[in-house]
Structure 1
Amino acid sequence: MVERGVSLVELMVAMAIGMLVLLGAGRLYLDGVDNLARVEALGKRQQAVMLGALLVLRDIRRGGVEPGRYALVEAANGEGCSLYDSQAGEPLVDGLAATAASCETSRPVQASGRAGLYRIRLQPLAEATPVVLHGMDRRMAVRRATQAAP
């Protein structure tokens, strides 16, 4: 008489192998979820910097921007700094880091050595280096070009 089926030892070995496969798959899934959360957080920080830079660049290109117009102030939610427009009297973007000792001592927009040229320095939260951009007042550029033309 031939018995068909699986012995208890074979069943336990199969269950152990199955558990290892499930643990590995579960770990991969959890790593994927963790990576997705980190990528989303990084995207939000980058979005804050880019929006702030675009708003400041737009105003610089239109002309008449003084470097003191924009400042960093403590964010209302307590997380980092907000880019504040003193002319409009309102914050523009939250989620920035101080580029100096504190939000109040940071200067996001500074006049460069040439008239009409500005340096914009914004730093995402939890990042070591700021994003530095340069913008020029279009009116000053045109005025300079027409004065230099023979």
Structure 2
Amino acid sequence: MMAGRVVESGVSLVELLVALAVGMLVLLGAGRLYLDGVENLIRVDELGERQEAVTLGALFLLRDIRRGGVEPGRYELRDATDGKGCALHDRVAGEPLVEGLAATAGSCAASEPIRADVEGRAGLYRITLRPLGGVNPLVLHAMDREAAVRHAGSSSPGERGS
């Protein structure tokens, strides 16, 4: 009989090092996933701000067009105060409406955000806005409500169907 011998059970140093290495790999993977998530959140936020600028600019222009048209040259693109892109500027109010737009021509000053009498139709406007970093501009068409009613009333029933 072996009376003086005690059997010890436990973890060896090698097993502890292997477990530590596996734990570190798991933590590194989780950390990388977290950082990727933060980077994606930042990109989505920036994209949302760009879309918001275009949407807000379009809403200002659409509102004024539908209420009775816009005087030629009332709205223009100017260099933004923060130096990033262009700002939609209202000459009548004398203030910028929204920043965060990109030039649709060679520069902000050469860009034309709104054009009247598109395709020779009185009261039809073309709005062209491009977000910063965007390749293609957003192009919208809007009609002055009074001009649309005048146009509809001036054409005969047979002409409206064509």
Normalised by the length of structure 1, the TM-score is 0.96
Partners of 2:72 and 2:61 in 1: CA distance: 10
Deviation at 1:87, TM superposition (A): 1.5
Structure 1 SS opposite 2:104: coil
Structure 2 SS opposite 1:126: coil
- Which of 1 and 2 has higher RCO (CA within 8 Å, sep 6+)? 1
CA RMSD of aligned residues (A): 1.0
Task: Give unpaired runs (5+ residues) of structure 1.
Answer: none
Match of 2:3 in 1: none
Are 2:69 and 1:68 aligned?
no
Deviation at 1:138, TM superposition (A): 0.3
Match of 2:130 in 1: 123
After TM superposition, which residue ranges in structure 1, 4 or more long, deviate above 3 angstroms? Answer: none
Match of 1:143 in 2: 150
Partners of 1:103 and 1:66 in 2: CA distance: 19
Task: Give unpaired runs (5+ residues) of structure 2.
Answer: 1-5, 158-162
Partners of 1:120 and 1:35 in 2: CA distance: 31
Instruction: String of CA shifts for 1:86-122, please: whole Å, max 9, x gaps.
Output: 1211110000000111000000001211111011010
Deviation at 1:134, TM superposition (A): 0.6
Structure 2 SS opposite 1:68: coil
Deviation at 1:15, TM superposition (A): 0.4
Partners of 1:80 and 1:23 in 2: CA distance: 39
Match of 1:54 in 2: 59
Partners of 2:130 and 2:153 in 1: CA distance: 36
Deviation at 1:64, TM superposition (A): 3.2
Deviation at 1:149, TM superposition (A): 4.0
Instruction: String of CA shifts for 1:65-84, please: whole Å, max 9, x gaps.
Output: 13421110000111110000
Are 2:41 and 1:29 aligned?
no
Partners of 1:11 and 1:64 in 2: CA distance: 77
Question: Aligned match of 1:10 in 4, 7, 15?
Answer: 15
Partners of 2:37 and 2:69 in 1: CA distance: 48
Are 2:93 and 1:93 aligned?
no
Identity %: 68
Normalised by the length of structure 2, the TM-score is 0.89
